[in-house]
Amino acid sequence: MLADTAPERLRRYNNIRVLRVRRTEALTPRMRRIVLGGEEIEGFGEGPNIKLLIPPQGLAEPEWPMKAPDGRPIWPEEPKRPAVRTYSVRSFDAAAGELTVDFVLHGKDGPAANWAARARPGDRIGVGGPGGRSLGAASRYLFAGDQSALPAIAWMLERLPSAASGTAFIEIAGPEEEQPLSTRAAVDVVWLHRNGAESGRSGLLEKAVRAEPWIGNDDIFVWVAGESSSVRAIRAYLRDERRLDRRQFLVIGYWRYGMSEPDYKKAYNNDRDEDYFLGALT
């Protein structure tokens, strides 16, 4: 067991970092940017996804899971237990020591969105990771995602080589949610407006993907994320109708209509199926 004099972070489960809000920015009516920093950001690595540990509202002194002698987590009692949610890294600036995360303010009772809506400079949040899978190598890319996937798509577009090309379909509520996105690649960004349709129920992403004629190209990679029913339908289309190899696509559910993230993960493992795991091994 670690000595009491060891730095607190080393005693936390998975060496969770505790960062502070540096500044916030309203990107659109439904998306807010939070820039995090602090001493514990040193050594932050590479990867598209992070775990956020969100303290309960009104808790003066947040508490974090600690590491038991056998390596398992010891969580604070329920009134003080942080909520764990998965988010995409929007950007990381090692020189400035800043991690940027964009939050969708969906107006529902979600701990992450509620925290982001009220976040102020100095507020603390736990961060685990980064990690996760990203793009496979290709000359042409197809991206498809709803607003929850927008930060990840923006992150990937900025990293594409100039020789790459493709299309990014992004489903949002309406034109007020569009954002300027930058890329060196020849990628067309197509905004799909729901125009009053409920998020996760519009069918816009599947329709757009089905309309793309070049999906059977041998040198293509397809990245899809969003609501469960939408991504499941697109995965089936790519695999069963377009006959893409499992190494040519990465499809994952970020959320499921009517379920919290922990319940969705427990029941459906974020719709990660055999193709997801086999694709990661080859």
pLDDT in tens, 136-195: 999 999 999 999 999 999 999 999 999 999 999 999 999 999 999 999 999 999 999 999
* DSSP single-letter state for residue 207: H
Q: For the domain made up of 8-131, give the CATH fold.
A: Elongation Factor Tu (Ef-tu); domain 3 (2.40.30)
User: What is the tens place of the pLDDT at every residue in 67-116?
Assistant: 999 999 999 999 999 999 999 999 999 999 999 999 999 866 789 999 99
Domain with CATH 2.40.30.10 in the chain: 8-131
Residues of the chain with CATH 3.40.50.80: 140-280
Is the CB of residue 53 less than 8 Å from the CB of residue 84?
yes
- Element (H or E) spanning 278, and its range? helix 274-280
How is domain 140-280 classified at the CATH fold level? Rossmann fold (3.40.50)
pTM recorded for the entire structure:
0.91
SS (H, E, C) 20-84: EEEEEEEEECCEEEEEEECHHHCCCCCCCEEEEEECCCCCCCCCCCEECCCCCEECCCHHHCCEE
Rg of the Cα atoms in the chain: 19
